[in-house]
Structure 1
Amino acid sequence: MIDFASALYLGMRHPAGALGGWETLTTGLPAALAAAPLARRVAADAAALQGTEAGMVGASTLHLAIDAFDRLGRTHALIADDALYPVMRWALERMMGRGVPVGWFRHGDAADLARRLARRASARPPAVVTDATVGDGAPAPIARYVDAVRREGGLVLVDHSQVLGLTGERAAPRSPWGQGGGGALRHAALPSPARQPVLLLASWAKAFGAPLATLCGPAALISDIARDGPAQSHCSPASAVALLAALDALAINRRAGARLRLRLLHRLHRLHDGLRALARGVLPDLHLSGRWHPLQRLCFASDERALALHAGLNAHGLRTALLRQRGGGYALIVIARTDHRIADIDALLDAIASLAPSLPDARRIAPRINAFKEIEHVQDR
């Protein structure tokens, strides 16, 4: 089966033979008591890659989000994008359950954020929480968010799991992702990135293919979170094999990252252009996400059409995924990866074209299917 559901964007897989050996998977100690030497190395390298002063490692984004919000909830007024990814929202809901107020601003709307900051009653400095992308995958206006909070001594926390390893500095029309793969802060092109009031939270299980997460930012704040974070004190840290996979990813990124990103862009453009051609022809109700991100969201006039196309592609040996959307209903998810062959992309496009005439009538709008509670959830069916 050709897989278009995996988010290993750069094709990094880290087989056991590439990682070397390890004496034990875990130390038996929480990270707050004694961070493993490998974890300190990954944290330092992650901070250097992303342009920040310091970093820390956790088993997942949820662990690190709990740690970060536990610290910020004591000193800052929390305000978040209302389309925040569910994992981050879960950590915020924990704070709300403890009585910490959380405000919300309209998705990707820097002007609405500024208005809400101007009207807020709290004397605490603001902590703005956002994903790195908005809408159809375009970069969030990180620089405008930073400008909005800087005057009040606040900060911005960015979940850039979807762009770490892809975007970087010196973006240009012919190089929309930029160079280096350092992620959202590098891509935002803010001056002196290490001095910016920004925390960067990221899963490494996307482009880098390593099952852990990092939190990077100002050294003093990272030190506080690493020392006092609940997950750092009470949960197991990232395993030795996950840390070795992260170091392998960093080595691959230094050695071949530019080539892998260029190859991925080529695959992505072929996929997106092919889908646009289908939208102009056999699938006039097809609405696509933006061209710049490898996760392509295909929306149709009805759930029936998305479900039927998903099932038909699966029968053709092509694995895709379904996304539960904020407003209800499904989108079909197709993900381009570096390790896809041109023939794989073309096989997917040909299969969609062949299935289009047999899909349910676009004029029949099916009832929305409320299958998931999450705001957005990828489901392989």
Structure 2
Amino acid sequence: MLDFTSALYLGMRHGARQLEAWSALTEGKPAALKEPPGARAVAARLAGLAGCQSGLLFPSTLHLFWDLFCARAADEPIAIHFDAGLYEVGRWGIQRAAAHGVPVHRFAHHDVRALAASLERTPRGRRPIVVTDGGCPRCGQVAPLRRYLERVRARGGYLVVDDTQALGLFGGGGGGSLRRLGIRGPEILWCASLAKGFGVPVAAVAGAAREIAHIEARSDTRVHTSPPSQAVISAAARALTVNSARGPALRSRLARNVQRFRAGLLRLGVRAPGSAYPQVNLPVAAPRKLHARLLRRGVRTVLFRGALGWLLTARHTAADIDEALRALAASLSAP
């Protein structure tokens, strides 16, 4: 079975024998009481990779976003404006803030004018926080972060970027969207899970040292939930080391696979949105039927609403991609 459902885009896998040994998975203490060994060092390395001053680890982006908006709302009135294409986990954090009385506004996907109009609705005396993904795997486009940042700065607000889909894949050294676009500033909070590009189920927030210290001081999950385990921290450290040593080669291999697959789609007369993202969504009339046909031919894909998703990785070979394209051609032409 050819598998195109894994989001381990760079193909990183971290077996137990490849990691530094640990004496216990956890010390039984929340991060607010004692930071797990190695967590500070990994967070600092991630912040540097993303082009930020300081960083902090969380067990997941759910933990991170659960804290992020309410931490700021605890000290000053805020209003949240989020891109309509924002990934669901970020929305869950926004919903918690809304439950605490924070005004929330949604603006059209990647639409700078819509953001400007949304910012006009910010109640007087509230600091605006704009939330977006760095890049969108659904449409395959990079968010207009530079122009979002201009609007944020004009209003004295913050720009929160969920860069999970770009970390490891784009920007200098795989640092993500901020590196890719060459932007930085104290108004930016960069957030990402390492579960895709780096293959580690842990998340980080990075930004100006003052802002990260504020999140740390106000975090609820660092008090009431378990911190990242020693196994996860060790895997994250290894992922950063692998990225330094082999990242360029892995990204080059992945880019070739994406290019080969998209070129094959064009030969079949199939067009898919986007260009460089390793998640390729085929808009088809009957995705369930096509998904079933491909399964019978030994190809596993991902079902989305109105689309069939193919997740390409650096581990796929040219032969894998060619075989998958033959199966797709046969499935599309089947009665």
Q: TM-score, normalised by structure 1?
A: 0.84
Give the corresponding residue for 1:163: 166
Structure 1 stretches (4+) deviating beyond 2 angstroms? 72-76, 118-122
Unaligned runs of 5+ in 1: 169-178, 281-285, 325-329, 360-381
1:20-53 C-alpha deviation (Å, 9 max, x unpaired): 2111111211111211121111111111111101
Asked whether 1:263 is paired with 2:253, we answer yes
Give the corresponding residue for 1:293: 277
1:311-334 C-alpha deviation (Å, 9 max, x unpaired): 11112221111123xxxxx31110
**How many angstroms does 1:130 deviate by?**
0.4
Contact map agreement 1:77 1:122 (CA 8 A) in 2? no
Structure 2 counterpart of 1:317, from 271, 283, 298: 298
Q: Cα RMSD (Å) of the superposition?
A: 1.3
Contact map agreement 1:72 1:127 (CA 8 A) in 2? no
User: Greater RCO between the two (CA within 8 Å, min separation 6)?
Assistant: 2
1:158 corresponds to which letter in structure 2? V
Give the corresponding residue for 2:175: 182
**Inter-partner Cα distance in structure 2 for 1:22 and 1:230:** 27
1:221-250 C-alpha deviation (Å, 9 max, x unpaired): 111111221111111111111111111110
| Percent of matched pairs sharing the same residue | 42
**Inter-partner Cα distance in structure 2 for 1:126 and 1:40:** 29
**Inter-partner Cα distance in structure 1 for 2:79 and 2:100:** 14
Contact map agreement 1:12 1:249 (CA 8 A) in 2? yes
2:42 corresponds to which letter in structure 1? V
**Inter-partner Cα distance in structure 1 for 2:108 and 2:8:** 30
Structure 2 counterpart of 1:85, from 84, 87, 92: 87
**Inter-partner Cα distance in structure 2 for 1:295 and 1:338:** 12
**Inter-partner Cα distance in structure 2 for 1:130 and 1:66:** 16
Give the corresponding residue for 1:56: 56
Secondary structure, counterpart of 1:151 in structure 2: helix
1:141-198 C-alpha deviation (Å, 9 max, x unpaired): 1111111011222110001100000111xxxxxxxxxx310011111212xx3x3411
**Inter-partner Cα distance in structure 1 for 2:66 and 2:18:** 32
1:263-300 C-alpha deviation (Å, 9 max, x unpaired): 1000000001111221x2xxxxx541211100000111
Contact map agreement 1:309 1:355 (CA 8 A) in 2? yes
> Which aligned pairs between 1:1-381 and structure 2 lie closer than 5 A?
1-74=1-74, 75=76, 76-134=78-136, 136-168=139-171, 179-190=172-183, 193=184, 195-278=185-268, 280=269, 286-300=270-284, 302=285, 305-324=286-305, 330-358=306-334
Secondary structure, counterpart of 1:123 in structure 2: coil
**Inter-partner Cα distance in structure 2 for 1:196 and 1:331:** 38
1:124-143 C-alpha deviation (Å, 9 max, x unpaired): 22110001124622110111
**How many angstroms does 1:116 deviate by?**
2.1
**Inter-partner Cα distance in structure 2 for 1:100 and 1:197:** 19
1:193-221 C-alpha deviation (Å, 9 max, x unpaired): 3x341111101000100010001111111
Aligned length: 332
Unaligned runs of 5+ in 2: none
2:28 corresponds to which letter in structure 1? G
